[in-house]
């Protein structure tokens, strides 16, 4: 089955700096890569996703890049704000797959 | 309001006492799934359902059962709970296959003594 590795497990940045979280996946057939944000005590919520026919996608201060050859994808958050503090999960799913495999999460702390 | 509703939100029980965590969605979603979240282990899939009467095992199905008799409901059953099933459980649903946004319930925190 699919295996998703996520790094780092914790990340602290100063407010205004950028944050980058990286994930690798094992199944070359995977073609859908979402990112979820989970604030303390809340449910995970989708913040951005990318499909394998696209190399990069942006939504305001967040962006995701995908390198299919290397089987890795990354989340980039620019101009970080305290409200960006949360646990972020990457995930991967294959074409026609009903299984979404998550990474173990990255706890991001933005220091004011 | 579109939502996924889980009950109970919090439960403390004892080893061996059967329990059911209910999950209901009002978005007419075909796909539903259960995850457990444990510190340092992320979200691990327990079972999923592609449609009514169609279910399959995820990565950690041992000790759990599910059923999908109606499209909106997907209960998680622990026939004989054990302490290693103490966890935070999330139900989620999406329109179709997993290549689409998963909507999560608020979570159910289960403690098995």
**pLDDT tens-place string over residues B38-79:** 999 999 999 999 999 999 999 999 999 999 999 999 999 999
Closest CA to B75 of B113, B25, B26: B25
In whole numbers, what is the pLDDT of chain A averaged over residues? Answer: 94
How far is Cα A30 from Cα A70, in angstroms, rounded to an integer?
A: 13
Q: A78 with A61: CB under 8 angstroms?
A: yes
| Residue contact A6–B105, C-beta within 8 A | no
The alpha-carbon radius of gyration of chain B (Å, integer) is 13
Interface of B with A (CB under 8 A): 31, 33, 35, 40-45, 48, 50, 56, 58-59, 90, 97-99, 101-102, 104-107
Positive/negative CA dihedral, B34, B40, B41, B43: positive
How far is Cα A65 from Cα A62, in angstroms, rounded to an integer?
A: 10
Distance from CA of A46 to the nearest CA of B (A): 7
How far is Cα B33 from Cα B74, in angstroms, rounded to an integer?
A: 8
Q: Average pLDDT for residues B73-100, to the nearest whole number?
A: 91
Mutate to test the interface with A, among B41, B42, B46, B96 (most CBs of A within 10 A): B42
In whole numbers, what is the pLDDT of chain B averaged over residues? Answer: 94
Element counts in chain B: helices (H) and strands (E): 0, 11
Q: B23 with B76: CB under 8 angstroms?
A: yes
User: With the CA atoms of A61, A76, A104 and A53 taken in that order, what torsion angle do they form, in degrees rounded to the nearest 10?
Assistant: 100
How far is Cα A101 from Cα B11, in angstroms, rounded to an integer?
A: 27
Q: What residues of chain A, 15 to 44, have a C-beta less than 8 Å from chain B? A: 31-32, 34, 36, 42-44
**pLDDT tens-place string over residues A65-109:** 999 999 999 999 999 999 999 999 999 987 666 788 999 999 999
The alpha-carbon radius of gyration of chain A (Å, integer) is 13
How many residues can be counted in chain B? Answer: 113
């Amino acid at each position: 089955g699919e295996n998703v590795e996520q790094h780092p497990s914790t990340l602290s940045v100063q407010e205004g700096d950028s944050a980058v979280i990286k994930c690798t996946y094992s199944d070359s057939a995977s073609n859908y890569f979402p990112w979820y944000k989970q604030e303390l005590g809340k449910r995970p919520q989708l913040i951005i996703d990318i499909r394998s026919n696209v190399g990069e996608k942006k939504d305001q201060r967040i962006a995701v890049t995908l390198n299919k050859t290397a089987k890795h994808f990354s989340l980039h958050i620019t101009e970080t704000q305290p409200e960006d503090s949360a646990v972020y999960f990457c995930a991967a799913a294959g074409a026609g797959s009903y299984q979404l495999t998550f990474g173990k999460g990255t706890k991001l702390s933005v220091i004011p | 309001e579109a939502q996924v509703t889980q009950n109970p939100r919090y439960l403390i029980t004892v080893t061996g006492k059967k329990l059911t965590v209910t999950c209901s969605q009002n978005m007419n979603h075909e796909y539903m799934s259960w995850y457990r979240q444990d510190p340092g282990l992320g979200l691990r899939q327990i079972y999923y359902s592609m449609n009514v009467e169609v279910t399959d095992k995820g990565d950690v199905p041992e000790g759990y059962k599910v059923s999908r008799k109606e499209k909106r409901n997907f209960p998680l059953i622990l026939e004989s709970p054990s302490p290693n099933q103490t966890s935070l459980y999330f139900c989620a649903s999406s329109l179709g296959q997993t290549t689409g946004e998963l909507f999560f319930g608020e979570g159910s925190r289960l403690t098995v003594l």
